[in-house]
Amino acid sequence: MNKKLITLLLGTTLALAACGSNDNANKPTNEGGTTTTSAGEADQIYKNKCSSCHGANLEGAFGPELKAIGSTLSKEDIETIIKEGKGGMPAKLIKEDQAAIVAEWLSEKK
């Protein structure tokens, strides 16, 4: 019984930590009003929203390893998973515009 309670509390804590807010108020935009992206921005979003489950170096932890996710899933597939969730991963942990940035960055991991 105690193991189940500890597992539940740990899982809840991880999920709540992953739901932290980072609105990126200082996000750069180009003249057309769209967001300019960089690997650094995607990496920062990942660290803030994903690393608690997928590991700081994409090595996996509570969630699966992502080091070579681009070799098995397309950018679109990754973005769909980020938006809709999968397995134990809740949906919409990352805002839609940020989901596209992270999906593109992860799709390059092969």
Looking at the domain assignment, is residue 29 inside a domain? no
pTM above 0.85, yes or no: no
The CA-to-CA distance between both ends of the chain, in Å, stands at: 41
Q: How confident is the model at residue 79 (pLDDT cuts 50, 70, 90)?
A: very high
Please give the Cα distance from 13 to 32 (Å, whole number).
40
Looking at the domain assignment, is residue 55 inside a domain? yes
| Domains: count for the chain | 1
pLDDT tens digits for range 80-107 = 999 999 999 999 999 999 999 999 999 9
In this predicted structure, the answer to whether residue 36 has a pLDDT above a threshold of 50 is: no
Looking at the domain assignment, is residue 53 inside a domain? yes
Please give the Cα distance from 18 to 1 (Å, whole number).
26
* CA-wise closest residue to 104 among 75, 74, 65: 75
Looking at the domain assignment, is residue 31 inside a domain? no
Predicted local distance difference test score (pLDDT) of residue 6 = 62
Q: Which domain holds residue 55?
A: 2-18+37-107
Looking at the domain assignment, is residue 11 inside a domain? yes
Looking at the domain assignment, is residue 87 inside a domain? yes
Predicted local distance difference test score (pLDDT) of residue 39 = 87
The residue type of 6 is I
Domain of 99: which CATH number?
A: 1.10.760.10
Predicted local distance difference test score (pLDDT) of residue 29 = 41
Looking at the domain assignment, is residue 59 inside a domain? yes
Residue 4 burial (CB < 10 Å; 0-12/13-18/19+)? Answer: exposed
Looking at the domain assignment, is residue 66 inside a domain? yes
* CA-wise closest residue to 79 among 64, 71, 91, 87: 91
